[in-house]
Amino acid sequence: MKLSTIIKLLNCETIDGLAIKDLEITHCLCSDMMSDVLAFAKEGASSSLLITGLTNAQSVRTADIAGLTAILYIRGRRPDEQTIELASELHIPILTTKLNMFEACGILFREGMKGLC
């Protein structure tokens, strides 16, 4: 699924201007526990979306270490400028949606998205 499709489905806003809309996203991983993201990320992470409510730099660093493609923040949450700058430096697009995690995951699942774990 193209990142542009995810943006439309979840009514996302791009935060950092890096949302390369033709990026292909094949899986998603949803968690607020970054230790779980690191534990459960596996092969295929390079085309995966992290969905989380954790908006600090830890989420960006975790996505980078796990090799995830992009981050979606839920419930309208927005990261601070330091986190946005870090994501930009690491070339990790970040998005936000007003949906909660359950709603965002349900919509993506309905449209055929697979989980990473």
Average pLDDT of the chain, as a whole number: 91
What was the pLDDT predicted at 94?
A: 95
pLDDT digits (tens, 9 = 90+) for 28-42: 999 999 998 888 877
What was the pLDDT predicted at 105?
A: 95
DSSP 19: -
Q: How confident is the model at residue 22 (pLDDT cuts 50, 70, 90)?
A: confident
18 has pLDDT over 80 = no
CATH of the domain at 82: 3.40.1390.20
Pairing of strands 48-52, 27-30: parallel
Reduce the DSSP state of residue 32 to 3 states and report it.
Answer: coil
What was the pLDDT predicted at 20?
A: 74
Per the structure, the count of domains in the chain is 1
Q: How confident is the model at residue 117 (pLDDT cuts 50, 70, 90)?
A: low
- Domain range for residue 29? 3-115
Cβ-Cβ contacts under 8 Å for 7 (sequence gap 6 or more): 14, 19, 21, 95
19 has pLDDT over 60 = no
